[in-house]
Amino acid sequence: MAAELPTVTLPSGEAVPQLGQGTWRMGETARARQEEVAALKLGLDLGMTLFDTAEMYANGIAEEIVAEAIDGRRDEVFLVSKVLPENASRAGTIKACERSLKRLKTDRIDLYLLHWRGRVPLAETLEAFLALQAAGAIRYWGVSNFDIEDMEELFELNGGAHCATNQVLYNLRRRGIEAGLLPWSREHRMPIMAYSPIEQGRLLRDRTLVSIAARHDTTPAQIAIAWVLRQKDMIVIPKAGSEVHVRQNRAALDLSLSKEDLAELDRAYPAPKRLVPLELL
């Protein structure tokens, strides 16, 4: 049975773990598969029961890896997957969801997201989400990589305000959402799901992070993750392809950054002073 972690409450009232597991780039190398499965299983044991994946990741193989990791433990997991924008027509979304369900070896996806905006009208994708929800194929739906204007357009649609989350890029180097999207989301009581908290590893050699990590006897990655986790209403989904990194990610929850630490990080990575367009990876 998985350990319990701090939680974030979705608009429905359901609580999910604040720290989850990302799977981007999993499944791209066959020789790493068993190590990736083992990492996800360990994360599940440690309470990181929110799994984030997508049909895009390794052309669906990441979903198959998740299926292997959660085999026999599906009811412990809060499963998130995503539909590509080119598949996001009403019929296309339903078919994409059916393919994901098959790869994930489950009868339901807990949270199904539109990966980013494409040419398909939002109303059409929303229709598909609501149909999938009514059929029990998904429990909740949401979006990813949506800026304020996109969210406002979505919320104007019938049923659009039931969006469960917006998954966006957020880390020390990418603080743009603090000037607009983050306060907007909080005003609408919709949590942000932050991806790439260590900037795909590019923050690991940062001098400020290395210095603060040394003071805490920890790693720069853990400092970067703890910095995002300090916002208790934000879900964070770092990817870890090894058991060592999974344990380090979990330990980031136990880190407490001091006022001096946070001030030092603010000097190195200042908060935005004006609205910044949403950044993507």
**Which residue range forms the structural domain that includes residue 68?**
14-201+233-243
Q: What is the pLDDT along the chain (281 residues), one digit of tens a residue?
A: 566 899 999 999 999 999 999 999 999 999 999 999 999 999 999 999 999 999 999 999 999 999 999 999 999 999 999 999 999 999 999 999 999 999 999 999 999 999 999 999 999 999 999 999 999 999 999 999 999 999 999 999 999 999 999 999 999 999 999 999 999 999 999 999 999 999 988 888 899 999 999 999 999 999 999 999 999 999 999 998 899 999 999 999 999 999 999 999 999 999 999 998 998 87
Catalytic-residue membership of 57: yes
Active-site entry in 57, 112, 170, 195: 57
Residue 202, pLDDT score: 87
> Looking at the domain assignment, is residue 156 inside a domain?
yes
> Looking at the domain assignment, is residue 62 inside a domain?
yes
pTM: 0.96
> Looking at the domain assignment, is residue 256 inside a domain?
no
- Domain of residue 150, CATH code: 3.20.20.100
> Looking at the domain assignment, is residue 254 inside a domain?
no
Number of domains in the chain: 1
Residue 76, pLDDT score: 97
> Looking at the domain assignment, is residue 74 inside a domain?
yes
> Looking at the domain assignment, is residue 188 inside a domain?
yes
Exposed / middle / buried, residue 52 (Cβ in 10 Å: 0-12, 13-18, 19+): buried
> Looking at the domain assignment, is residue 162 inside a domain?
yes
> Looking at the domain assignment, is residue 19 inside a domain?
yes
